[in-house]
A and B are shown apart, each in its own frame.
Chain A
Amino acid sequence: MKPSADAKRVVDTNAVDRTKGTPPAASRGITRATLLKDLRLEWRSKDAINSMLFFSLLVVVVFSFSFDPSAEESRQIAGGLVWVAFLFAAVVALNQTWARELRNQVLDAYRVSPAPASALFMAKTLGNFIFVSVLEALMTPLFIIFYRLRAVGPAWQLLLVAAFGTWALVVNGTFFAAMSIRTRSREIMLPLLLFPISIPAILAMVQATTAILTGEYSARFWIVLLGTYDLAFTAVCLLLFETVLNAE
């Protein structure tokens, strides 16, 4: 396959001893190559984005039966609803992240290569971040139409919440997806691991979104909390990913 050949070439030219540390440039090259490969695969198949879109559309429709979507009070729960839809949809994409690399033993090849594991993790996380962001960009207009949403508070903060919130989901999701492919019944395992750890982030996203939509209180505390959560978990995931990748 051509994209994999690209990735392999970059890995080869930057071959370095993992124990001695990798020059940042080589690490960036590996990240870029893997990311481009994933994006190209997704661009050609559109597997993840299609299933995520359809899934979140279903969530939107199913939720509309449980309350009156056009009522003024629905703004109070819209924040939670949007994020639940994105969370469930993201799990669909996250489950495919590493499953793709199991075919032809790509992951094993990566394990024996001298490329740093954190570069691979970063590429996968960035890829998922792009996929979920695209999903959000496509689904948000639909939410606005179906649930008659209108931000009373500062709407630009929603961008911040979306970026931080998506990153929080995706960084943990990519990490736990790498763990859950090691288990029996992989697809079930990912949400079981991801949701409990993500509860503070989900709470912060939902509260910040509701705060902005209703304009009743400031979203600042929640945005700061999300940012801190992102920083802490990104750092620890990058640190521990090599252990997970090489676990035998």
Chain B
Amino acid sequence: MKYLFPILVILTGILLSYALYQALEVAPTDQQQGDVYRIIYYHVPSAWTAFLLFFVNFGASIYYLIKRCEVADILALTTAEVGVVFQTVNLVTGPIWARPVWGIWWTWDLRLTSTLVLWLIYVSYLFLRRFSSSGETPLLAAVLAILGALCVPFVYFSIWFFRTQHPQPVIGGGGSMDPRMLHTLLLNWLAFLCFAFLVCWSRFRLEKLQREVDKAHAMRSLMGDPEEPQGARDDF
């Protein structure tokens, strides 16, 4: 168990490098776009990973509201933070690809706008977590996560009314993608998922330790430990 984390780190490193090699060397060049399209191997997996993490965040928030279990709250915090990071990667790689292919950095179409709004909702979630006093944070954050998730279909339908410029989804959308490309894409997603899992895991452990430390400090000040100088912990 002690070595599980380092082993996973090494495995994920190998998987990420192999996926990078596949994306840059093995996957065939796109007939129309040339090599520019290869950013898809980072753009799409990061989006899928972010959506998955937000979904876990939603589930953990509901579970927290029902059971009030602290692990669910830590999981919700972790997945929201890592999800925002992955969605940022998605939002940054999009314009880099769009500039040479579409000729513009950004357009207000369905996918772009709804992804941006989703990103905004989860950034506001992180703001709430940061600004609320520690005892109430889990509850308020869980409530906001549920309202945010409720908002997602409305975001989608409202922006759906604008015509979409984004390329149709390559999987399940009737697209004709080279099987090697698809294989590379899925491989990259797997690598991203492992990476996200690792980051979530270490963030989870960090947050758990932090809370234990905070609790220990609170206990010590309640017990009136003479070792502790008065006002030593004024950072919260």
Q: CB-CB < 8 A to B155: which residues of A?
A: 199-200
- Contact (Cβ within 8 A) A197 B131: no
Sort A-B residue pairs by CB-CB distance and give the 7 closest, nearest first: A200-B154, A200-B158, A196-B120, A247-B139, A183-B131, A183-B132, A196-B121
Q: Give 1 or 0 for each of B124-151: 1 = CB within 8 Å of chain A CB.
A: 1001100111011001100110111011
Chain A residue numbers with a CB within 8 Å of B124 are 192-193, 195-197
Residues of B within 8 A of A111 (CB): none
* CB nearest neighbor in B for A189: B131
Q: Name B152's closest neighbour in chain A (CB-CB).
A: A200
A residues 207-248 in Cβ contact with B at 8 Å: 207, 221-222, 225, 228-229, 232-233, 236-237, 240, 243-244, 247-248
Assembly CA distance A195 to B155 (angstroms): 13
Interface majority SS (helix, strand, loop, mixed), chain A: helix
Could you list which residues of chain B lie within 8 angstroms of chain A, going by C-beta atoms?
A: 65, 117, 120-121, 123-124, 127-128, 131-133, 135-136, 139-140, 143-144, 146-148, 150-151, 154-155, 157-159, 161
Q: Contact residues of A with B, CB < 8 Å?
A: 172, 175, 179, 182-185, 189, 192-193, 195-197, 199-201, 203-204, 207, 221-222, 225, 228-229, 232-233, 236-237, 240, 243-244, 247-248
What are 19 pairs between A and B in contact, CB < 8 Å? Answer: A182-B133, A182-B136, A183-B128, A183-B133, A184-B132, A185-B131, A192-B124, A193-B128, A225-B154, A225-B158, A229-B154, A232-B154, A233-B150, A236-B147, A240-B147, A243-B139, A244-B143, A247-B136, A247-B140
Known: A183-B131, A200-B151. 15 other contacts (CB 8 A): A179-B144, A182-B132, A182-B140, A183-B132, A192-B124, A195-B124, A196-B117, A196-B120, A196-B124, A199-B120, A200-B154, A228-B154, A236-B147, A240-B146, A243-B143
Decide if B140 touches A232 in the complex (CB within 8 Å): no
Provide the bound-state CA to CA distance between A29 and B80, in Å. 41
Interface of B: prevailing SS? helix
Q: For the complex, give the distance between the alpha carbons of A240 and B139 in Å.
A: 10
Give B132 Cβ to nearest chain A Cβ, in Å.
4
Please give, as numbers and ranges, the residues of chain A lying within 8 Å of B120 by CB-CB distance.
195-196, 199
Which of chain A's residues have a CB closer than 8 A to the CB of B127?
189, 192-193
> In the complex, what distance in Å separates the CA atom of A195 from the CA atom of B135?
25
Query: Which chain B residue lies CB-closest to A179?
Result: B140
